[in-house]
Structure formats: structure tokens, C-alpha cells
Amino acid sequence: MFGLFGFGKKEKDIAAPVAGTILDITEVNDAVFSQKMMGDGFAVEPAAGADTITAPCDGTIKLLADTLHAVALESDGLEVLIHVGIDTVELGGRGFEALTQQGAKVCRGDALIRFDADSIKKEGKPLTTIIALTNGAEKAKKIEKHLEQAERVLTVQL
């Protein structure tokens, strides 16, 4: 009953984790992401000089890949995956530095991963950074995209 008046409605804003040009996830040059096999979301082409991935929302680090190219956090039951670059798992961690650890509580804007853009590009890997809501289909009642707003790219109604 209270839901009719907006009570009990919880919204979560998901920010861009790195400065750059924001794209819809369907524009990513990787079929797994562009076809939303990992979930809906968006991507960022990092700006020149951008080298740090930050938490897009408050939450708990649930996964920090051994290869340091990806980190996932959980926030109010929503799973947010941040995948730095395309095919960067093949680098085995070269060009990445962890600034957090699994289980850590983080606030939006906290540094998670630092990357060396030049070394990753020299390896022939695009830096396109993907943000996917891996359980959004189950947890989100509604996902609104604001691709022109770095501070609130997604608004997820839980």
C-alpha cells in the first residue's frame, strides 16, 4: 500500500568510476557485454590522464580479480561489476594495481584500482571500462540511464 505513495521505494545512483566519455553498454566492442550477457549497464572510454577506478556507489567489495582488471561490489543487494579494458584478463595483472581488497567496505569515490594506460595500450588492449549490473534483472525494478551525467549515469530502483 505504501508503495503507491513512494514509501519503501529505494533508488541507487551509479556514477562513472573513471573520468571519460560515457557510452551505452550496447556500444561496447565485446559481445559478452554489448549483448548484456553480464547485465545491463554502461561503459566509459577513460580520458587522457585518467588512471584510477573509483567506487561508483557505496558497498562492499565482493570480488577483486586475481588479474586486477575487474572488481565487483555489492550495494543493497545489487551487484555492480567494473571491468577495466577489453581482454585485459590476458595481461595477468600487468598494468594494474589493487587499491582495495575483497571484503572492504567502500564509499562512492573511493579508489579501487589504478591502471597504467600506456602499458595496457602497448599490449593492444582497449581501455573501455564496463560497468554491468550482474543481477540487475532480478534486483532492479527499473533502470534509468543518464548517459550525459557522470555523477549519476544509472538510477536503479530497487
CA 141/CA 72 separation, integer angstroms:
21
Residue 79 DSSP symbol: E
Instruction: Indicate which residue of 83, 85, 86, 131 is catalytic.
Output: 83
Instruction: Return the amino acid letter for 94.
Output: R
Reduce the DSSP state of residue 137 to 3 states and report it.
helix
Catalytic, 69? Answer no
CA neighbours closer than 13 Å in the CB half-sphere of residue 79: 14
CA 111/CA 87 separation, integer angstroms:
22
Q: Which three cell numbers stand for residue 57?
A: 556507489
Active site residues: 83
